[in-house]
Amino acid sequence: MKEAFLKACRGIKTDYIPVWFMRQAGRYMPEYQKIRQKYDFLTMCKTPEIAAEVTLQPVKILGVDAAILFSDILIPLEGMGIKIEFIEDKGPQVSPTIRTFSHLKNLREIQLEAVGYVFSAIKILVRELHVPLIGFSASPFTLATYVIEGCSTKEFINTKRFMFSEPAGFHKLMELFTEATLKYLTEQIKAGVHAIQIFDTWAGILSPLDYEIFVKPYVKRIIDGIKSVPVIYFCSNTSGLANHLKELNANVLSIDWRIDIKEAANLFKSYSLQGNLDPLTLLGKEEELFIRVEKILIDGKKAKAHIFNLGHGVNINTKVETLKKLVDFIHEFKFVEV
């Protein structure tokens, strides 16, 4: 198995910079679209053979250094009695919503057998892959936002109303999701994943104080509970939360493009860093793309270790050829010794 990704996760400098992409298995890829024409998204997630095939596609085509399981961050909700639907152009729809303490009765402890297809797909993949496999879940807070809002949103009005009007109820919700996430990720590790990424996608909407109160203790509990494999923590808009992120004890911090990676290396000295190219750079001129990629690679050398990635997922309009050139450029990049 190729070891560069796992070495970088553990803070070991590598001969070349390993690279993978969030959302690398997905809609931008013609091979994916052929399968998607036959099945809806959730059916693909719930059919281990299909999920494994889609996971393998970018590894074979792009030559990335790690695979990430084809699934969805909200899958744990299905094991807790919450219904998820994915509607074209609207995204995930979640029901029933939980917006008060009294609604918590609609949520049960996670039943792992209800999401057993995830672990079956992992077992298939660890037999077939020659690169490490990344398992993942949404963080408790991100799960909470979808259950409270019922869909994607940019304002999070209901989430913050619940937090500020019934803080005890919100903490109880976070307790439930923390226990569920810990069980779900532990089962992924048992099935064979080599690393875990926690997607705290929406934690950046919070003030540092509210992150400290409502998010940090729960994320820390999960990370401390799954240290048998490297843990990557992803959160958008990280710079305002820097003092708290330093204390999470994850192995890798995945950063978006809103912070310079050189600045992040100075802020987060104990972390390996993952990132941090703006995904939409891939839609522009190649000359501009590789100027930015080179800067990230050079500045990323200041980190404890560096894994190249995007600051968010691959955009649907990205060309496969562009991503392949990007992977080759990163693998072949020669650092000039000063």
List active site positions: 23, 27, 36, 72, 146
Contacts of 247 (CB under 8 A, 6+ apart): 216, 220
Q: What SS3 class is residue 42?
A: helix
* C-alpha dihedral, 252 to 255 to 260 to 262, nearest 10°: 0
The answer to whether the Cα torsion of 52, 53, 55, 59 is positive or negative is positive
3-class SS shares of the chain: helix, strand, coil, % to 5: 50, 15, 35
Instruction: Determine contact, residues 200/215, Cβ cutoff 8 Å.
Output: yes
The answer to whether the Cα torsion of 226, 229, 230, 235 is positive or negative is negative
- Say how far apart CA 19 and CA 4 lie, in whole Å: 9
List Cα–Cα distances, 186 to 48, 133, 144, 224, in angstroms.
19, 14, 20, 12
- Say how far apart CA 253 and CA 306 lie, in whole Å: 10
Instruction: Determine contact, residues 52/46, Cβ cutoff 8 Å.
Output: no
The answer to whether the Cα torsion of 278, 280, 282, 286 is positive or negative is negative
- Say how far apart CA 25 and CA 21 lie, in whole Å: 9
- Say how far apart CA 78 and CA 80 lie, in whole Å: 5
Q: What SS3 class is residue 86?
A: strand
The pairing of strands 91-95 and 83-87 is antiparallel
